[in-house]
């Protein structure tokens, strides 16, 4: 077997030109036909195979001397993860938002079967990709590989492109030296960025551990699971403090924590207003409505939103498009973290209404929060 090598230069990777696209297409076509393809990532070089092609998987297992243990599956983002995992742990979604695409492999519980109907229809695929109901998922930070994955109809597995017991390859030359003609195609993406294996992190419900340190150590991974969420309205006396209070309750329940323990577990949930006077209390109606949802905001003091608050947040959730626009004007390079709490519709100001109006507003916010938490979008 002769191996074809395609050199993908830096300009092709960065600009999205035909060099990158043609390399990605050729690699995708090869994998789709059952070939083994080597390629660079930001960590080490990998070798990919189509998981639904039994002959390709048999060849890969023989190459890696790995007769039974599953290989990690490559994905292009969190939407791909939902094809394999029924319920993504909230903290895992936070890790994804901070490290993907990037040098972290996540081991997640599938929930007993793949949610994706098409994946369910392939006999033996679940058993090939999981062990004890757990699947490994990796989202590489290499544009050529992402483009390749988007052109392949089916899951692609990719261990490191080396023989068992040998060092993980950092260059295409390393792959050629170690595997030679044992693979069909190699994308030479240049030296890898980190030259280290990805960090492997395992989640089981709300517990986690580091299976293999790599690019990131345990301390750094702990930082990636911290979260700061800010809710924004106009005066910070009704909608945003109610939203923050309800969010604390829901997220604490999701993480099996008490509300008062969120901060020491790395979760901070705040609120602010784009035109707020510092130090005002929540409106009486907001306090009463929040109580109906098991939330106490009687000690709330309003604050005016600052650029520093926005910069320090992971997510900023606004009540209306107007608020989102105002926050983006403050945010500078942080604009990408800003969105409306309810992405479908605005949450109108209940000010001047009775407690019933505030209750409906609180219910609207709770429903929006529940949807976001279920999707890991908070």
Short-list 44, 41, 33, 9, CA closest to 23: 9
pLDDT score for 314:
97
Asked if 192 and 40 touch (Cβ cutoff 8 Å), the reply is yes
Exposure string for 247-282, b = 16+ CB within 10 A, e = fewer: bbbbbbebbebebeebeebebbbbbbbbebeeeeeb
Which listed residue (91, 138, 239, 372) is catalytic? Answer: 239
CB within 8 Å of 68: residues ≥ 6 apart = none
Q: Hunting for tokens 């790599």 — which residue is that?
A: 214
Which residues are within 8 A (CB) of 113 and not within 5 positions of it... i.e. 6 or more apart?
86, 120, 126
Radius of gyration of the chain (CA): 24
Tens-digit pLDDT profile for residues 158-180 = 999 999 999 999 999 999 999 98
Active site residue 239: yes
Query: Kind and range of the H or E element at 30?
Result: helix 18-32
Match 């604390």 to its residue by tokens: 248
Sign, CA dihedral 310-314-318-323, equals: positive
Residues 264-279 have a mean pLDDT of 98
Per-residue pLDDT tens over the stretch 297-323: 999 999 999 999 999 999 999 999 999
For the chain, which domains are there?
4-223 (3.90.870.10), 226-373 (3.40.50.2300)
202 belongs to the catalytic site: no
Q: Is 233 marked active-site?
A: yes
pLDDT at 333 over 90: no
Rounded to an integer, the average pLDDT of 248-256 is 98
- C-beta of residue 153 within 8 angstroms of C-beta of residue 56: no
- Alpha carbon distance 155, 74 (integer Å): 7
Beta bridge mates, 203: 208
Catalytic residue among 189, 233, 238, 318: 233
> In terms of C-beta density within 10 A (0-12 exposed, 13-18 middle, 19 or more buried), how is residue 55 classed?
exposed
Each residue of 338-352: pLDDT tens digit?
999 999 999 999 999
């Amino acid at each position: 077997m002769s191996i074809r090598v395609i050199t993908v230069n830096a300009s092709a990777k960065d600009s999205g030109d035909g060099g990158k696209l043609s390399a990605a297409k050729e690699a995708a076509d090869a994998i789709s036909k059952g070939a083994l393809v080597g390629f660079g990532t930001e960590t080490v070089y990998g070798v990919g195979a189509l998981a639904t092609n039994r002959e390709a998987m048999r060849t890969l297992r023989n190459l890696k001397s790995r007769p039974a243990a599953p290989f990690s599956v490559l994905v292009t983002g969190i939407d791909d993860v939902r094809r394999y995992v029924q319920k993504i742990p909230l903290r895992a979604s936070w890790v994804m938002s901070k490290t993907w695409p990037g040098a972290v492999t996540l081991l997640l519980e599938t929930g007993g079967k793949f949610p994706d109907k098409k994946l369910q229809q392939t006999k033996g695929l679940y058993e090939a990709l999981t062990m004890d109901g757990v699947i490994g998922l990796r989202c590489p930070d290499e544009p050529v590989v992402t483009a390749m994955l988007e052109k392949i109809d089916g899951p692609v597995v990719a261990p490191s492109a080396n023989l068992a017991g040998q060092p993980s390859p950092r260059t295409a030359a390393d792959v050629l030296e170690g595997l030679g003609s044992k693979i069909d195609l190699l994308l030479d993406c240049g030296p890898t960025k980190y030259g280290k294996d990805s960090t492997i992190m395992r989640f089981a419900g709300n517990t986690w551990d580091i299976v293999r340190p790599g690019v990131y150590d345990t301390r750094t991974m702990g930082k990636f699971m911290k979260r700061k969420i800010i809710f924004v309205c106009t005066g910070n006396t009704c909608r945003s403090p109610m939203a923050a209070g309800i969010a604390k309750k829901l997220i604490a329940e999701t993480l099996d924590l008490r509300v008062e323990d969120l901060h020491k577990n790395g979760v901070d949930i705040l609120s602010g207003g784009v035109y707020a006077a510092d130090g005002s209390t929540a409106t009486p109606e907001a306090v009463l409505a929040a109580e109906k949802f098991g939330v106490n905001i009687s000690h709330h003091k309003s604050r005016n939103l600052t650029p520093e608050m926005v910069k320090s947040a992971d997510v900023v959730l606004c009540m209306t498009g107007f608020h989102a626009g105002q926050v983006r004007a403050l945010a500078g390079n942080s604009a990408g973290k800003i969105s409306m709490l309810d992405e479908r519709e605005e949450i109108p100001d209940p000010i001047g209404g009775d407690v019933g109006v505030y209750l409906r507003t609180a219910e609207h916010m709770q429903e929006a929060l529940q949807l976001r938490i279920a999707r890991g979008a908070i």
